[in-house]
Amino acid sequence: MNWLELHIDTSPAGLEPVTTLLSALGIDGVVVDDEGEFLEFLENNHQYWDYVDEELMARERGKSRITFYLEENESGFSLLGQVRIALSALKRERSDCGTLLLTMENLQDSDWENNWKQYYKPMEIGERLIVIPEWEQADTGGRIPLILNPGLTFGTGSHATTRLCLTALERHVRGGEQVLDLGCGSGILSVAALALGAEHAVAVDIDDKCLNVAYENASLNHIGRDRCRVLVGNVLSDDALRQEIGSGYDIVVANIVADVIIALAPMVGELKKREGLFLCSGIIDDRAVEVADRLRQAGLAILETRESEGWFSYLCR
């Protein structure tokens, strides 16, 4: 069996959030290298030396690195993609976690860029949708195709949280809706809503890379900018962006993380129509009850709860 040895460079402050992030993805067997542990080791083992090489001290200074291993197969590369997405989100949320650089032993980034595509295959989702990589050919079997090229920045649609949202959209988009997609990433949920019959979608993300990627994915599905508009910014803190987004949406979808959903909850009523729907996902199981409580406190009624692989989604009105 072949393994990928992966390293995440972070800061001392980033050790806990990064290990928590990995644990949420089911990766618990990690090795932590930290300057603090190195200095503690020196302090407690004076009897073994009376001189420590300055070059070694310099190499260890400020070092905080987490190492973990994944199998070099389809599931391993899929999980690696999820780690990349989660690290990108963490970097946006916190400024004290260092570079969060992800590197691999015996596999260069160029190899990743070429090799990851072989593990990204057409996926049937729900009863009506099929996600097809741009470079693949697939028999749709009568399903609605979503042609997608997420690049290396955003998700492929395979993550449980995305599949939960797609399944809910499949059931609740009936045609003619105005949709707001917060944390749009590759634009997959906006594209899906439009392919299912929604009239117009506004897709928003704080990562400016979404601008090109989401528009490109819309174009791959023959959806023009007259139906899909992509905006960059933080809806929680940018008043001008909220004014640009407007209100009166039939469906607001947020596939983000628990803390952002909690912060969004009080403003959802201003974004959607009175009878409009709020679909949220990206909620790990140990935060599900907390998020549900905060949604109710914000005046939202939870109509449907879905769970897959330890992740939850809520459909609210």
Distance CA 158, CA 74 (A): 12
Domain 159-316 CATH class label:
alpha beta
Q: What is the pTM of this model?
A: 0.67
Of 163, 121, 112, the residue nearest 311 (C-alpha): 163
Instruction: Give the chain's largest Cα–Cα span.
Output: 76
Distance CA 195, CA 193 (A): 6
- The number of angstroms, rounded, from the C-alpha of 139 to the middle of its chain's C-alpha atoms is 28
pLDDT tens track for 3-14:
888 999 898 889
> Pairing mode, if any, of strands 123-125 and 101-105?
unpaired
Distance CA 259, CA 38 (A): 34
Domain range 3-116, CATH architecture: 2-Layer Sandwich (3.30)
- In the chain, where the domains are located: 3-116, 159-316
Return the top range by mean pLDDT from 19-23, 55-59, 122-126, 265-269: 265-269
Question: Is 109 known as a binding-site position?
Answer: no
pLDDT tens track for 228-286:
999 999 999 999 999 999 999 999 999 998 999 999 999 999 999 999 999 999 998 99
Contacts of 48 (CB under 8 A, 6+ apart): none
Assess contact for 178 and 248: CB atoms under 8 A. Answer: yes
CB neighbours (10 Å) of residue 158? 17
Q: What is the pLDDT of residue 220?
A: 95
| Mean pLDDT (the chain, rounded) | 86
Strand arrangement of the beta sheet that strand 101-105 belongs to: 31-34, 64-71, 3-9, 101-105
Question: Is 246 known as a binding-site position?
Answer: no
The percentage of the chain sitting over the pLDDT mark of 90, rounded to a whole number, equals: 55
Tell me: pLDDT of 104 over 70.
Answer: yes
Provide the terminal-to-terminal Cα distance of the chain, rounded to the nearest Å: 49
Of 140, 121, 308, 288, the residue nearest 221 (C-alpha): 140
Question: Is 255 known as a binding-site position?
Answer: yes
> Pairing mode, if any, of strands 178-182 and 200-205?
parallel
Q: Per-residue confidence at 175, pLDDT binned at 50, 70, 90? A: very high
Q: What is the pLDDT of residue 53?
A: 47
Q: Angle between the 74-93 and 15-24 helix axes, to the nearest 10 degrees?
A: 140
Q: What is the pLDDT of residue 106?
A: 57
Q: Could you tell me the two tokens for 64?
A: 């905080």
Question: Is 10 known as a binding-site position?
Answer: no
Q: Read off the amino acid at residue 26.
A: G
